Amino acid sequence: MSRHTHPASPRRFPALFLLALALGLAGGRAPAADLRLEAKLIWGANDGPATVKYNLADPALAAALRHNFKWTNYYEITNLTTVIPLQQSRDVKMSDRCTLKIRNLGSGQVAIDCIARGQQISKGTNTLPLILGSNETNKTAWFVSLRAADAASGDTANQEGRK
């Protein structure tokens, strides 16, 4: 009489369970890639710091903007950080007039709808980091700087941000 064990027999159950558990933990599905996004609303102007109520933007960001645009000074209006789970969207309110609808597509890719004064002014898919911009009627400009925030940087700004 041969002793064949059925794959679902009580003797094999613990081994199969441990194997399934190991496969599930080691190589099943990769965890969702949440995006910790830093968003800054920047105002470009030739007005001097003494006449403006906002703080100057980070020197590195201001230098990058100054390299490509004509304004002398760049002021930080809003600075906030939000977390967007993979394949989900968040509305990010940059000001009373500007909201970004951002979808995390993974691997640093985001889909962005920019809504200004209730109207969609741009829509597209981009790779982070990026800067969106728009001229204003009074010879100034608005920019939105978006980048993946470094969790190790200690940045604790939240959706309410600093205004």
Statement: residue 7 has pLDDT above 80: no
Q: Give the pLDDT of residue 5.
A: 47
70-127 confidence digits (pLDDT tens): 899 999 999 999 999 999 999 999 999 999 999 999 999 999 999 988 999 899 999 9
What is the pTM for the complete model shown? Answer: 0.72
DSSP codes, 31-85: PP--EEEEEEEEEEESS-GGG-SSEEPPHHHHHHHHHHS--SEEEEEEEEEEEE-
Q: Are 86 and 106 in contact (CB under 8 A)?
A: yes
3-state secondary structure of 18: helix
